[in-house]
Amino acid sequence: MARVVVLGAGVAGHTAAAFLRKWLSKKDEVIVVSPQPTYNWIPSNIWVGVGLLRKQQVTFPLAPIYARSDIDFKQARAVALYPEGADGGTRPAVEIEWTGNGKEGQREKLSYDFLLNATGPKLNFEATPGLGPGKHSLSVCTADHAEETSRVFLEKVERMKRGEQQRFLVGTGHGGCTCEGAAFEYVVNLEFELRAHKVRDKAEVLFLTNEYELGDFGIDGVHIRHGGYVTPSKIFNESLFAERGIDWITRAHVRQVEPGVAHIETLDSEQRDVTFDMAMLLPPFTGVGLKAYDRVGQDISSTLFAPSGFMKVDADYAKKPYEEWKPGDWPRTYQSPAYSNLFAAGIAFAPPHPISRPRATAAGQVISPAPPRTGMPSAMIGKAVAHSITDMVKGALGPTHKASMAEMGAACVASAGANPFTGTAASLTVFPIVPDYDRYPEYGRDIEYTFGEIGLAGHWIKILLHHLFLYKARLRPGWSLIPE
């Protein structure tokens, strides 16, 4: 009998746990450790943040789902790994601190045969003074954040209905952020809802991003073939914003947020103040702060984790110039090079380097997107790792399945206004995620599989995906037939 512990119940962790339970013997244990009692379909937080959905429509309790599926659920956060054994024992263990079940604050060590780190990120609001909920800006990173953002947004709408002018600032709250796509999706939905509330003439909407050009999205942009033309995503995004009257500032780092003003610095070292009545600014990500110790208690965190706090896997982490980066630098199996029974998936794995060209100010402040690892890639990686662990439990000598971001494509449907008759969404496919200029010298990607357009049909697909993926996440009958 084997015990597999999955840390995290987001897209990667929840997907992996579900497939592990499906593929492993009933004698094998699958344990999920997550500090939150609920699953959150994060892509739909965008709609919560503009008042179109309630928090309860994008979340559900995990415990009943796992109990029905014979998965042991522990509402706790992982604190430390002991891959060589703990307390004199030789069996690997993870130390957890309970956050629910009436055991809040209690710690215990949980042994494992295989462990998958799918903890996701720490939302590092502290990187920018004044950034984040409870301070001077808002977020849609969690359902609770999105609900508060909705409350503030609708209050601003009421002010505009009384004749007041309002300025909305949306984007990234630090030069090292990822998830520019989420900020893009929120700003176009916000603008759409302003029109739906008939107050667009009272609003100024400004997009602030660390991208060198609009449409970079942390993947160095894309080129899209549509209507017989090849268009860079820069033109696609600029056109979309221009049509909607959204202004933008690129190449920007937020130094500090104070009430009603964001102090920013641009790549050319210019400093300026951007005023606002409401700001939704996303934070940068770091690892959750897991520590690691060897059998005698020595701290080996730097062996298992990169300086960012994300777990090292089978990637090439050698420091080298941008011109020497290769698709082969990216991990394939997500196995720890230090311990064969340790894996990481989703945002929890450390990328070898950014995908977009790195840039910084003369003083060294990085203003460049970090690589995204969310959504479809997270689910595909989680599934591949679950397959490898299953095969290793059954006797395989090493990982059997691969899911390199340099060898996989991804599809994204970004809402640009939610309405069954007048709404739109931007539909985008890209292959591969990490550009490969050796295989595709002109654009770095296969132009036949890189596609994008915007329209009402995309919005219908977005609605369908919302319901399909929540159905799948609830592990309803036939869930495994729904693609990642």
Q: Which domains does the chain have, with CATH numbers?
A: 3-123+286-393 (3.50.50.100)
pTM score over 0.85: yes
pLDDT computed for residue 391 by the predictor? 98
Q: Using an 8 Å Cβ cutoff, are 470 and 47 in contact?
A: no
pLDDT computed for residue 153 by the predictor? 98
Residue with tokens 């505009």: 160
Residue 162: how many other CB atoms lie within 10 Å: 8
pLDDT computed for residue 375 by the predictor? 84
Residue 439 DSSP class = T
pLDDT computed for residue 421 by the predictor? 80
**3-class secondary structure, 108:** strand
Q: Using an 8 Å Cβ cutoff, are 253 and 269 in contact?
A: no
C-alpha pair distances (Å), 218 with each of 99, 221, 355, 374: 34, 7, 6, 12
pLDDT computed for residue 452 by the predictor? 79
Give dist(CA 454, CA 90) in Å, integer.
56
Nearest-5° angle of CA 381, CA 468, CA 177?
Answer: 50
Give phi and psi for 308, each to the nearest 5. Answer: -70, -15
Give dist(CA 236, CA 483) in Å, integer.
28
Residue 366 DSSP class = B
Which of 2, 460, 14, 454 lies closest to 236, judged by CA? 454
The amino acid that residue 66 corresponds to is: Y
The DSSP secondary structure of 247-281, one letter per residue, reads: EEE-SEEEEEEETTEEEEEETT--EEEEE-SEEEE
Length of the chain: 484
Which of 251, 253, 246, 138 lies closest to 184, judged by CA? 246
Give dist(CA 119, CA 289) in Å, integer.
10
pLDDT computed for residue 428 by the predictor? 83
HSE toward the beta carbon, residue 254, CA cutoff 13 A: 34
pLDDT in tens, the chain (484 residues): 999 999 999 999 999 999 999 999 999 999 999 999 999 999 999 999 999 999 999 999 999 999 999 999 999 999 999 999 988 788 999 999 999 989 999 999 999 999 999 999 999 999 999 999 999 999 999 999 999 999 999 999 999 999 999 999 999 999 999 989 999 999 999 999 999 999 999 999 999 999 999 999 999 999 987 777 888 999 989 999 999 999 999 999 999 999 999 999 999 999 999 999 999 999 999 999 999 999 999 999 999 999 999 999 999 999 999 999 999 999 999 999 999 999 999 999 999 999 999 999 999 999 999 999 888 899 999 999 999 999 999 999 999 999 999 999 888 877 888 888 888 877 888 999 999 999 999 999 999 888 778 888 878 888 998 999 999 999 999 999 999 8
Q: Using an 8 Å Cβ cutoff, are 4 and 29 in contact?
A: yes
Residue 161: how many other CB atoms lie within 10 Å: 12
Q: Using an 8 Å Cβ cutoff, are 433 and 409 in contact?
A: yes
